[in-house]
Structure formats: C-alpha cells, structure tokens
A and B are shown apart, each in its own frame.
Chain A
Amino acid sequence: MPGPDARAGAIYDLGYRAYDGPRLGRAAAVLALYTFTLRGAFGIGRRTSAKVVPVTVTAFAYIPAIVQLGIAALLGSRIEIIAPWNYLGYSEVPVALFCAGVAPEIFGRDLRYRTLSLYFSRALQRTDYALAKTAAFVTALAVLTLGPLLLLAIGNGLASDDLPGYLADHWRELPQSLAAGLTIAFVAGCGSLAIAAHTPRRAYATVGVAAWFLITLPLAGILVAIGGEIGRFAAWFSPFDLLYGTALAIFGRTPGADSIQGRADLPLGTYPLLAAAHAAVAALLILRRFRQVQA
C-alpha cells in the first residue's frame, strides 16, 4: 500500500465566520426598501442630474398654493381663487409629469438589470417588494398632492384676522384635505406604477404614463361634449377628471356648470367609487406582475 500522496491538498482555515449578530428580519427589510425608494424618488443621495426633474416638478406643484397664500396675506383670506377642492385643477400637470418622470425609475432598474433575484433571496417576499415600492411612490406623490393642500389649510388659517373663528368655521378642511390628497396620490401612484411595471424600458413607460394622464384629459373633454348619453361616462376614465370629481365629493362641493364633471352630470358619489376601483385594479396588476416576473 503506497504512502499518502504528497500532492494531495490540505485544508487551510481562512478564518471565514458565520454571521451571528441580530437578524432584523422581514419587517426591517420592507422598511429599508420603503425608505430608500422614497429617497430615490426625489433623487436624495443620488447625483444632481437625478434631482432636477423631481425637484422642479414638485416646486411647480406648490406654486399655486404659494400664490394663493400671497393673495390671502395681502388682501385678506376672503378672496379664495385657489381652494383645496379645485387644487388638482392647478397642479395636474406637475403631478402627471412627476408620475411620468419618476414612476419608471421605481421598478425600472430592478427589472432591467435583473436585480430582483438579489431582493428575493433575502427575507423580503415578492408581495413585500411590490407593496413597499408602491407605498414609497404613493408617499412621494403625496408630497405633491397632499403637501400643498395642508400648506393652504394652515396658511389660510394663519392669514385670517380671527384665528379661533376661522378654525371653528373651517376645521373640517383639514381631514378633508388629508383624505383628498391621499386618495389622489394613491390612485395616480398605483395607476402609473401599474403601467411602469409592465414596460421595463424607461422611454416607453414614461410615454405610457404621460399618455394615460394627459391624452385622456382632452379626449374625455371632447367625448363628454359630443358623445351624448354614452360619451359622458368618459369623465370616469380620465384619471384627472375622475380625481377632480373625487376631490369635489370629499369636500362636498358641487361642480361648476361648465366643468367636465358638471357637463357629464354623473352622480358625484360615483367618482370616489370609480377611483377606488381604479386603484384596486392597478394594485392587483402590480402584485400579479411581481408574483409572475422572472427574478
């Protein structure tokens, strides 16, 4: 029997250690994904060129509120041109452009560069990933839809000569603003993410989201004007007309006679229902996409 082969290898102890520190688990992973997606939506922690679009667009969404507060400060708060219930009418273009510019970034890189497998190999589950990212984008969008409404509510109160009296009359506007701002952010956010999740190429996703918001707007206007009995239902399917109607319903206002909601003459209560249906369909589409997509 020959002796042991001199060439046979030996096993060296390289000092690899197993990690035995605390494991933060699923909840912490979801929270981290949420925070970093939210930061990324505004380009915080990214290079300057990534900040330009979200910051510019956000600034434009605040301008009407600042203008109204300027008027209120100079002329007194009775002159109310830009009010919480018609605010979306002034901020719809910035909101649409924020969605078109930022929503493709939320899922786009992970889908394009196949980094999903890295996420899914950790404690994070597929549903968690989709929900955390969606929640982060909705929060980012709420900065544009809810932020100016709160600014208006607080600023109008401070600009009035009789703050306790103003609060007694207008305290309802605060919860109504909260509800309207969050609903708009939720429906617009879920809708644009559902489009973006199905189009990995950034260019197509941007055009798709922009088309969903901005083509439907003149389209619904024309269809309501000429389409007669069937055409008036178009007001339900143009996202901004739908959300404007929802805001009117939340604030308990009647639409103006020449607004699209006034001409469509659909019951105002149906707008929140249709908005909820839109958001539910969009959220289901996002969840289904990430249950099926190849990691």
Chain B
Amino acid sequence: MNADIARLAARTLLGQRRTLLVVLLALVPVLVATVFRLAAGADADPGLFTARDLLAGLVVTTVLPLVTLIFATGAFGQDIEDGTIVYLLATPVPRREMVLTRVLVAWAAALVVLLPSTLLAGAIAIESADPAIVLGFLVGVAAGAFIYTAAFTWLSIATGRALVAGLLYVFLWEGTLSGLFSGIRFLSIRQYTNGIAGAFFDLPGDAWSPRLGPGTAFLLAALAAAFLLSLAVRRLERWQLGESA
C-alpha cells in the first residue's frame, strides 16, 4: 500500500460523474425490493425471491460486474487515456505496489456502493425468511467484487478497450455461453460469487442452488484472484512508455 497513490486513486474514482452513475446502478435492486414488498402476491416466497431473483439474478449478474467494471477500469484506464500514467511510472514506487494499491482502492470504492445496496435490498425483501441469505450474499459479493476488480484492472492495463472487453466477458462468457456450456461455471467469477454465498444458507428442495459447491468456489476464487493480480502486476512491470498512444 502506498498512501499517496491510494489517496489520488480514491479522488479520481469518487470525485466524478462516475460516482453518480454507480449510485444509480446500486439503487436499482433496492427499488426492485421495495416493489416486491409492496406489490407481491400472498403466494410469493420471499426467501426464494431474495436469493434467486434479487441477489443472484440482479445484483450478482449485472450490478456487481458493472459497478466493479466502472471503478476498476477507471483506476488505470483514465491515467492511460490522459497520458498521466507516465508521471506515476516515473516515481520510484514498485509497480507491484501501484497495482495492489489501486486494486484495493477500487475494491473499497465498489464495496462502499455494493454492500449497502445488497444489505438494504435484502433487508427490504427478506421479510420473515432466513436472514443468512443476505449475509451469504454480502460475503459473496465482497469476494466477487475483489476478483472482478483484479480482472478488470488487468484488462485496463492490457487493452485500450477494457470496458468493452469486460462487458464481453460478463455478458457473453458468463451470461450466454455459460448457459450453453455448463463447464464454464469453473471459469466464471459469477459462479464463484454464488458458490460462496451458497455456503451460508440452504433453500428447500431444488428451488435455487449455486452451480458450484462452496469448497470449490472458495478455492477457485482464491486461485483466480491470485492469478489475475499477478497478471496485472506482470503487465504493468512490462509496460513500455508510449505504448497506448
């Protein structure tokens, strides 16, 4: 961690219109939960709705990746786009430290938005069902946000079109393709998130269950985080000035 880099990164990430966009995204699940609380019929199952539709279906599939995508690609992407990355790289700070600091700041920024959104949406919709569902997804979202942040930070160092590349990964690979080829669940941050969340609660019957067991999910998540972080560090260590112009 480097305090100066952390402070500057936090200022780039939070001081802009970007923040407004992210907050709007985070409000969507809260809104849906409120609608569910007000309008759902008597036969609705709040536990199942919270787990399957609200937290797994909306938060983990779209809100989580989009929020981390916006913050993580901003961490290096903006520096590279503006050409100010030169001044950062010219400092004697080790590049490993630059990457780790920025990943941690982007992760923290994402958590500041995602955790209240998950907690609030879950608390509104859960009613009398098992509160462990919300707890599970809080832990899952926190872990998933870290892996997504590491992945998108690496993308933002490696390519100029990190945003579109990230969208391709999230919606094509994790969305469409993983529905067709179920083996992709082992290579999908979304399934790691669901698997970790699933360790905390049990829904009756075959209503909804994560596609990865908790043990596998934890292990693969840790491996993916370490691998993506090392990729990002390696990419920045080999960064040549003038590369992105």
Q: Give A202-214 as 1s and 0s: 1 = Cβ < 8 Å from B's Cβ atoms.
A: 1110111011001
Known A215-B62, A227-B39; judge A97-B17 contact (CB<8 A): no
Question: Chain B contacts of A73 at CB under 8 A?
Answer: none
Closest Cβ–Cβ distance, residue A97 to chain B (whole Å): 6
* CA of A52 to CA of B159, assembled, Å: 11
B32 pairs with A222, CB closer than 8 A: yes
Most buried by A among B54, B163, B164: B164
Sorting the interface of chain B by its residue count into under 10, 10 to 19, 20 to 34 or 35 or more gives 35 or more
Query: Which of B66-74, B99-107, B203-211, B232-240 makes up part of the contact surface?
Result: B66-74
Closest Cβ–Cβ distance, residue B75 to chain A (whole Å): 12
* B3 touches A (CB below 8 Å): no
* A71 touches B (CB below 8 Å): no
In this complex, what residue of A is CB-closest to B22? Answer: A207
Sorting the interface of chain A by its residue count into under 10, 10 to 19, 20 to 34 or 35 or more gives 20 to 34
* CA of A222 to CA of B32, assembled, Å: 8
B164 pairs with A206, CB closer than 8 A: yes
In this complex, what residue of B is CB-closest to A49? Answer: B160
Query: Which of A53-61, A152-160, A170-178 makes up part of the contact surface?
Result: A53-61
Q: Give B134-165 as 1s and 0s: 1 = Cβ < 8 Å from A's Cβ atoms.
A: 00000000000000000000000001110111
Closest Cβ–Cβ distance, residue A189 to chain B (whole Å): 17
Question: Chain B contacts of A207 at CB under 8 A?
Answer: 21, 66, 69-70, 163
Known A49-B160, A210-B167, A230-B39; judge A225-B18 contact (CB<8 A): no
The DSSP consensus for interface residues of chain B is helix
Most buried by B among A208, A222, A227, A228: A222
Question: Chain B contacts of A93 at CB under 8 A?
Answer: 171-172, 175-176
The DSSP consensus for interface residues of chain A is helix
Most buried by B among A93, A96, A226, A227: A226
In this complex, what residue of B is CB-closest to A205? Answer: B163
B73 pairs with A203, CB closer than 8 A: yes
In this complex, what residue of A is CB-closest to B67? Answer: A207
* A285 touches B (CB below 8 Å): no
Question: Chain A contacts of B175 at CB under 8 A?
Answer: 93
Question: Chain B contacts of A164 at CB under 8 A?
Answer: none
Closest Cβ–Cβ distance, residue A66 to chain B (whole Å): 14
* CA of A227 to CA of B40, assembled, Å: 6
* CA of A53 to CA of B163, assembled, Å: 11
Question: Chain A contacts of B70 at CB under 8 A?
Answer: 203, 207
> In the complex, which of the residues A203, A210, A223 contacts B32, with contact meaning CB atoms closer than 8 Å?
A223
Question: Chain B contacts of A219 at CB under 8 A?
Answer: 28, 32, 58
In this complex, what residue of A is CB-closest to B54? Answer: A222
A94 pairs with B172, CB closer than 8 A: yes
* A70 touches B (CB below 8 Å): no
List residues of B (203-234) whose CB comes within 8 Å of A's CBs. none
> In the complex, which of the residues B18, B63, B69, B172 contacts A204, with contact meaning CB atoms closer than 8 Å?
B18
Other contacts beyond A97-B167, A101-B167: 4, CB < 8 A: A207-B66, A215-B62, A219-B58, A226-B35
Q: Which residues of A contact B (CB under 8 A)?
A: 49, 52-53, 56-57, 60, 93-94, 96-97, 100-101, 202-204, 206-208, 210-211, 214-215, 218-219, 221-223, 225-228, 230-231
